Amino acid sequence: MLPDSVRIVEVGARDGLQNLPTPVSPEIRAQLVDLLSQSGLRHIETGSFVSPKSVPQMAESDQVFQTIYRQDNVVYAALTPNLRGMEDALKAGANEAAVFASASEGFSQKNINCSIAESLKRFEPVMELAKQHNIPVRGYVSCIISCPYDGETTPQQVAEVTKALYQMGCYEVSLGDTVGTGTPLRVKKVLEACNRNVPMEHLAAHYHNTYGQALANIYASLEEGLAVVDSAVAGLGGCPYAPGASGNVATEDVLYLMEGLNIKTGIQMDKLLKAATFICKQLGIRSRSSTGLALKPH
Ligand code: HMG
Ligand code: MG
């Protein structure tokens, strides 16, 4: 049975913008976040407190947090790879944090410069500080299907890291098909493996759309009982450490699918399209959302 409602976690202002050739100003990033919140999205990744040498596009995330027009019922989340990141996120007023690990060693090394085990150790004080400040922490597991450096990932590898993040206190673990090579059967196997240790209501789908399979993978995940989906407005994005991987599944496409399935999201398509038009104009690009192009050709 499919869920009655799905929570969409909008990652466009973070995952979407972190891979662009030229950084976008904090003002434009904040405007994007505001347009997204006006569309009814209630969970918005707003920035990353990572090394600006590693990801210059996410520099000045504190200014994005300062500039946004905050709505009471919206979660404004930030990526926090280490204690310094969490301290900065707290100063900036993020009301949720996310730690990110990988199911594969190669990506872990390239992305955060340490092994999987070291990353989990590094997250312990991050979780502790978040707890002291009552900040919920989400966990990410990257490369749930394949890794740009190590090749195929097994469901067991994903399940182990997912369990570790959940046990350390992440209220939800988002499963990242970073490279976007997944297909429904593979994704279901990963979910089944993770679900042996973590209840389905604490798992989320974070699928990149490189091979055009993300919507099919989301549908397969809903069939497994999952009800939280990450997506990026206009299908923006990619990861600086996953060359060739394309953006996240587009929020407009996910919304169209949910509307067709009578699944509630609380998001208004027309307002979401405004956010998409705004950011595509700013970037001088065409939307990567099929729904966006059909409803509002740019
Ligand atoms: P490191 O080099 O091992 O760390 O990097 P370090 O502690 O040795 O510090 C090195 C330098 O970074 C120092 O500066 C630190 O001050 C600075 P220097 O002395 O050289 O001038 N530094 C920081 N600066 C600002 N904020 C911080 C911070 N920490 C250290 N928090 C580190 C380790 C994790 C910091 C680095 O590798 C990094 O920032 N990586 C970022 C990776 C990233 O953001 N990747 C993209 C997001 S993940 C993703 O997209 C996947 C996801 O979407 C899911 C999916 O699709 O799979 C979530
Ligand atoms: Mg991603």
User: Is 280 assigned a catalytic role?
Assistant: no
Instruction: Please tell me the distance between residue 246's alpha carbon and the centre of ligand 2 in angstroms.
Output: 9
Contact between residue 193 and residue 158 where contact means Cβ atoms under 8 Å apart: yes
Counting atoms of ligand 1 from 1, which one is nearest the CA of 58? Answer: 44
Q: Which residue in 180, 112, 192 sits closest to 143, CA to CA?
A: 180
CB-based burial label for 168 (10 Å; 0-12, 13-18, 19+): middle
Q: What is the mean pLDDT of residues 221-226?
A: 98
What are the C-alpha distances in Å from 250 to residues 10, 174, 187, 274?
Answer: 9, 17, 18, 14
Is 15 near ligand 1, meaning CB less than 6 Å away? yes
Counting atoms of ligand 1 from 1, which one is nearest the CA of 81? Answer: 34
Is 71 near ligand 1, meaning CB less than 6 Å away? no
pLDDT digits (tens, 9 = 90+) for 47-68: 999 999 999 999 999 999 999 9
- CATH for 7-295 is 3.20.20.70
Q: pLDDT at residue 257 above 70?
A: yes
DSSP assignment letter at 19: T
Residue 142 belongs to what H/E stretch? strand 137-142
pTM score, whole prediction: 0.97
Counting atoms of ligand 1 from 1, which one is nearest the CA of 100? Answer: 58
pLDDT digits (tens, 9 = 90+) for 131-152: 999 999 999 999 999 999 999 9
Q: Which ligand is nearest to the CA of 174?
A: 1
Q: pLDDT at residue 17 above 60?
A: yes
DSSP assignment letter at 24: P
Q: pLDDT at residue 28 above 80?
A: yes
Please report, in angstroms and rounded to a whole number, the separation of the first and last CA atoms in the chain: 37
Longest dimension (CA), the chain: 47
Q: pLDDT at residue 167 above 90?
A: yes
pLDDT digits (tens, 9 = 90+) for 195-218: 999 999 999 999 999 999 999 999
In this structure, the residue with its CA closest to atom 37 of ligand 1 is 112
Q: What pLDDT shows up at residue 234?
A: 97
Q: What is the mean pLDDT of residues 253-274?
A: 98
Average pLDDT, the chain: 96
Q: What pLDDT shows up at residue 298?
A: 52
Give the whole-number percent of the chain exceeding pLDDT 90.
93
**Distance between CA 85 and CA 83 in Å, rounded?**
5
Which is catalytic among the residues 143, 147, 170, 239?
239
Q: Which ligand is nearest to the CA of 182?
A: 1
Domain boundaries, the chain: 7-295
In this structure, the residue with its CA closest to atom 41 of ligand 1 is 50
Is 118 near ligand 1, meaning CB less than 6 Å away? no
